[in-house]
A and B are shown apart, each in its own frame.
Chain A
Amino acid sequence: MAYDASFRVWRGNTNGGELTNYKVSVNEGEVVLDIIHRLQQTQTPDLAVRWNCKAGKCGSCSAEVNGKPALLCMTRMNTFTEDETVTVTPLRTFPVIKDLVTDVSFNYQKAREIPSFTPPEGLKPGEYRMQQVDVERSQEFRKCIECFLCQDVCHVIRDHEDNKPAFSGPRFFIRQAELDMHPLDTASRKRDAQEKHGIGLCNITKCCTEVCPEHIKITDNAIIPMKERVADAKYDPLRWLGAKIRGRQPGDVE
């Protein structure tokens, strides 16, 4: 059933902006991104929005709908009542470029700071046969579409701009967990997670998990296991003693 919906869309750029009210028609089965496109086509041809697949797989159309980080293409209009005003803003953790488009280069900078997969020296292709049980934990993290909603909602940087240099954010903790859980990875990631990427700043309030469109259990399956691994390496005297006796580094695992 078609109806005219009330929308508030943030319009502006780095110099300022405001929430602008629109009336726009909505048809059955549509998502918020459809409505934004209709606004572009009928009322505001200069409205900037980043999008690509319209299928929840590219991670481009990240924004905030009624104050909650969400993919515009995965937010169905039938989740709102017909008399409800739907507010759409850009991500509020990153610098705005124009309208609904933000500069998310912070995330690419953080990605570059994580050493890539580091297999043992001299290991040649085909010399190691991977078992499914060894990689299935990491496979969950490979579902990440890099929409950066978890980064956007994380209060460590959302509410504290000054933490950005020291904190990589949930997306990159699952990257570190993925690599640290890999049977062949030899890089020292536990201390790095604490000392270079600020996992200690995370107070595990689970907002990253709540907003993940791929339903990755970011906190339970990546951040907390990494915090436990950090505790192995840095805060557990018995693990430290055991490692000394066996001539290993604290945090080394079988």
Chain B
Amino acid sequence: MSTTEKPAASNDGTGVFSPGRARISAKTLRVDNWWVQPTITFIILLSFVIYSTWRAFANADYFSMPYLSPFYSPCLADSCPPGSQDFGSWIGSWYAWSPALIILIFPLGFRMTCYYYRKAYYRSFWMSPPACAVAEPHKKYSGETKFPLILENVHRYFFYAALVFNVVLTWDAIASFRNPQGEWGHAGLGTLFLVGNATLLWLYSLSCHSCRHAVGGRLKHFSNHPVRYKWWTMVSKLNTRHMLFAWLSLFGVAFTDFYIYLVASGAITDPRFF
């Protein structure tokens, strides 16, 4: 026994409605909750953007000896509080705005051009496409062939910059094994945040697709480069979890900064372990 459903309405003749294709009125026939994942991604990323913008412009409550917020590290301006300038103050006094406004260019550039985050924001913010086999709303599409999206190709340079920042943040984690008087051999709850943050950032950076390419992916003859092949194999294993590390490190940075904000603003007192 059969019955038929006529197409409900005409369409614009593009995409899945292009001439010659099966005439089906629905833009998608998916019946699962395909919109949930891009919605969650949108909410989380937008929350991070709002939070980081607020903290970057705040220019306050980012240092409480021995903890320096990752949003403000390395703090290189004269305006940085005493004790936070472990790498000097060679930017000097001419720079009067928040140090985070310069610093965040690099880690945000790394994440904006990251192959995983590209998938995340193309789907959730630009809906290009919102989900697989769900028609996107745009009439024209040029992908990453034109300005500004062709700049995604500089991802490797942001990766190199991220390595430098990872070294700095690793130092910050080591430096957090001090007490508020600057004496070594102490630790508090903030130390755990900073060590966890640095660890997650290293995992995120080393699992990067550009890292995988640089250490050996560009080679044709692995057998001629056994050491680089070994590196490539290790990075490839990390690379399968790049999405996981991308999210964990994002949360890690945000929570570390928020913890230091709470301590620096006096809202809480940092519990000391030893």
Contacts and interface: CB of A to CB of B under 8 A. Distances in A.
Interface of A: 8, 10-12, 14, 16-23, 43-44, 64, 66-69, 87, 89-90, 92-96, 102, 131, 133-134, 153, 155-156, 158-161, 163, 180-183, 185, 198, 200-207, 210-211, 220, 224-225, 227-232, 234-236, 253-254
Interface residues of B, number: 63
B216 to A, nearest CB: 10
Given A67-B30, A203-B128, A236 B156 contact: yes
A93 B119 CA distance: 21
Which of A69, A131, A235 has the most C-beta atoms of chain B within 10 angstroms of its own C-beta? A235
Contacts of A205: 119, 122-123, 128-129, 132
Contact of A67 (B28, B115, B136, B150): B28
Sorted from nearest, which 6 A-B pairs have the closest CB atoms? A67-B29, A67-B30, A201-B143, A95-B20, A207-B132, A131-B223
Contact of A155 (B18, B129, B156): B129
Given A67-B29, A163-B141, A254-B225, 19 more contacts: A18-B7, A19-B4, A20-B5, A68-B132, A87-B29, A89-B22, A93-B16, A133-B222, A134-B221, A153-B133, A158-B16, A159-B141, A161-B18, A183-B223, A203-B143, A205-B132, A224-B115, A230-B153, A254-B221
B237 interface: no
Given A21-B3, A90-B22, A204-B118, A228 B217 contact: yes
B272 interface: no
Nearest to B132: A207
Nearest to B3: A21
B220 A182 contact: yes
Contacts of B21: 92-96
Contact of B1 (A23, A156, A163): A23
Nearest to A65: B29
A183 B220 contact: yes
11 contacts: A12-B22, A19-B24, A159-B138, A159-B141, A160-B140, A200-B150, A228-B218, A231-B156, A236-B153, A253-B218, A254-B221
A4 B270 CA distance: 65
Given A16-B23, A254-B224, A21 B133 contact: no
B224 A20 contact: no
A195 to B, nearest CB: 10
Contacts of B2: 20-22, 43-44
Contact of B156 (A43, A92, A153, A228): A228
Contacts of A87: 29, 31
A217 B146 CA distance: 26
Contacts of B7: 18
Contact of A161 (B15, B136, B155, B229): B15
A22 to B, nearest CB: 5
Interface of B: 1-7, 14-16, 18, 20-24, 26, 28-32, 115, 118-119, 122-123, 128-129, 132-136, 138, 140-145, 149-150, 153-156, 209-210, 212-213, 217-225, 229, 239-240
Q: What is the predominant secondary structure among interface residues of chain B facing chain A?
A: loop
Nearest to A155: B129
A185 B141 CA distance: 33
B168 to A, nearest CB: 22
A133 B15 contact: no
A134 B223 contact: yes
Nearest to A132: B223
Contacts of A94: 21
Given A159-B16, A201-B141, A232-B218, A17 B223 contact: no
Q: What is the predominant secondary structure among interface residues of chain A facing chain B?
A: mixed
Given A8-B5, A155-B128, A158-B133, A206 B219 contact: no
A161 B14 contact: yes
B129 A200 contact: no
A87 B26 CA distance: 12
B50 to A, nearest CB: 24
Contacts of B30: 66-68
A201 B145 contact: yes
B31 A22 contact: no
A133 B5 contact: no
Contact of B22 (A8, A10, A133, A229): A10
Contacts of A225: 209, 212-213, 217
A207 B129 contact: yes
Contacts of A134: 220-223
A225 B208 CA distance: 11
A16 B23 CA distance: 6
A201 B144 contact: yes
